[in-house]
Structure 1
């Protein structure tokens, strides 16, 4: 199984276009040892030709151009993208579908709640009817498994996570199973497994079981502290309030990952305010000492 990190940043990427926080200012002025990041998305394949996209960020065009394995090779209009899986209906995970409108119909795998959001509050599916069209394929929220035609030798298990629907959603304040999911990706022939969850606000028992059962975890690395944005004068919203478990502190992601045994541990969906974006920071050294990696655009994981 090959996993390609197309984008590793949170919404807005890094540096964010209108942000002058400590990190964004320094990366623009070459004053920090770090790397710019586009918005979060990954691609998965077993043959390096047929790819499943997880999420389609607003940066999808640049991400695909930077990835030769997924570019056209045969027909006048061609792509290595065989299907798309959406883990939620957030704008930074779905808007990229508008950039894919010139192609064939998009086979999109997502929950019923995500489908509802993308046909109502943010009607992407409706908008694309006059372009490529969207073929919706429902996915379970109870850990059930399924395969995807054209994506050989992979099986997927999807489970609901506690989360809020996006602000535009008609049920923003009425959470439902399927607003956000975690995914176990299993290569059938080898038994190797990865768990992907870029938005993770609470470690429920089934989430812990999933992380313990796989060979690689790629999970929420949005914030270092719960009050990160408030401390920098950006927003009064706390990490947990908007559905992201911070890395530090009691019950934080570092503590969680330390408790799941030996395996590859990778943080993805890094917010522009997070000090771990500075490769020389104390926080980054803390992660390294704990055996936790930080995803970057173009990172490839072979399982």
Structure 2
């Protein structure tokens, strides 16, 4: 199984356009050791030809251009993207759908009923695509009892489970969370049995998750914030990381402590906010991750299982 990181940053990317935090300002001025990152997305393939895209960030056109396998050039109109799985309905994971509107071939969209509702009502991106390429919507089951496949991407099987999270601000049920607002996915290559657990938005380790993570040869999880009060401490927000659906890396119950329980897997943090000190490659926080064998995703990262 080939997993390619198209983008590793949280919403807004790194540096964020309107942010002058020490990370963003330092990257622009060249005073810190760090890499630019676009907004989070991965693609996965078993054969290296047909790919499943997870989320479509606003940076999707740049991401496709920087990864040639997604444009194999077999015909006048072509794409290596066989299907698109949406983890949630957030802007930074769905806006790129509008950039993929050209052509007559319908986009194969896999998402939960909740995400489909949000993207046909509060933020009707899927309705807009109906005026261009159109879509085929495939409902994702979220109870973990059944798996699904993307016919155009042979050799891969997907099992999704609902995660506790809030729907986007434009969702009709913003203040009434439903199962399926956000999901995590266990990706399996059927020929080898290799598995990757992918959950870029993970606010809590719920009881049904350890058994799934234990199966994984690679665990790619929420790397948004280093501390629970990161945005409060910088004066950028009045809410904690956990209250907006992101388990921080540090502290009791943090992602470092969680990932230490799975030494069998390659462990990678993705969806990293621009304020997070782990973006600085020589920071004390990055050294702490290294000590635990935890990696920080970057644009262009390849993982072969």
TM-score by length of 1: 0.99
What's the secondary structure of 1:296's corresponding residue? coil
Mapped contact 1:212–1:261 kept (Cα < 8 A) = no
- Matched position secondary structure for 1:78: coil
SS of the residue corresponding to residue 272 of structure 1 reads coil
Distance in 2, matches of 1:145 and 1:70, equals 25
Partner of 2:5: 5
SS of residue paired to 1:18: coil
C-alpha offsets along residues 254-297 of structure 1, whole Å, 9 cap, x if unaligned? Answer: 00000123210000000000000000000000000000000000
Q: How far did residue 166 of structure 1 move? A: 0.5
Tell me which residue corresponds to 1:129. Answer: 130
Superposed CA deviations along residues 67-125 of structure 1, whole A, max 9, x for unmatched, are: 01111411111110110000100000000000000032100000000000000000011
1:223 shift after superposition: 0.1
Q: How does 1:121-200 map to 2 (within 5 A)?
A: 121-143=122-144, 144-200=146-202
Deviations 1:30-74 (A, max 9, x none): 001110000000000011111100000000000000001111411
Distance 1:163 1:191 in 2: 30
Q: Secondary structure at the match of 2:147?
A: strand
Instruction: Output the CA distance in 1 between the equivalents of 2:160 and 2:262.
Output: 20
**In 2: Cα distance, 1:75 partner to 1:252 partner:** 48
SS at match of 1:196: strand
For residues 208-262 of structure 1, the C-alpha deviation after alignment (integer angstroms, 9 at most, x for no partner) is 1111111100000000001101111111121011100000000000000001232
Secondary structure of the corresponding residue to residue 209 of structure 1: helix
In structure 2, C-alpha distance between the alignment counterparts of 1:261 and 1:3, rounded to whole Å: 20
Runs (4+) of structure 1 exceeding 6 A deviation are none
SS at match of 1:92: helix
State the SS of the aligned residue for 1:279.
coil
Contact 1:9 / 1:40 at 8 angstroms: preserved in 2?
yes
**Does structure 2 retain, via aligned residues, the 8 Å contact 1:113–1:176?**
yes
What's 2:116 paired with?
115
- Separation in 2 of the partners of 1:127 and 1:161? 28
Aligned equivalents of 1:32, 1:211: Cα separation in 2: 34
The aligned residue for residue 37 of structure 2 is 37
Structure 1 position 206 matched with structure 2 position 208: yes
Equivalent positions of 1:263-302 (< 5 A) are: 263-302=265-304
SS of aligned partner of 2:208: helix
Cα distance in 2 for residues equivalent to 1:82 and 1:65? 17
User: What's the secondary structure of 2:219's corresponding residue?
Assistant: strand
Aligned residues: 303
1:247 alignment partner in structure 2: 249
TM-score, length-scaled by structure 2:
0.98
| Inter-partner Cα distance in structure 1 for 2:294 and 2:264 | 11
Q: Does the 8 A contact of 1:187 with 1:193 survive in 2? A: yes
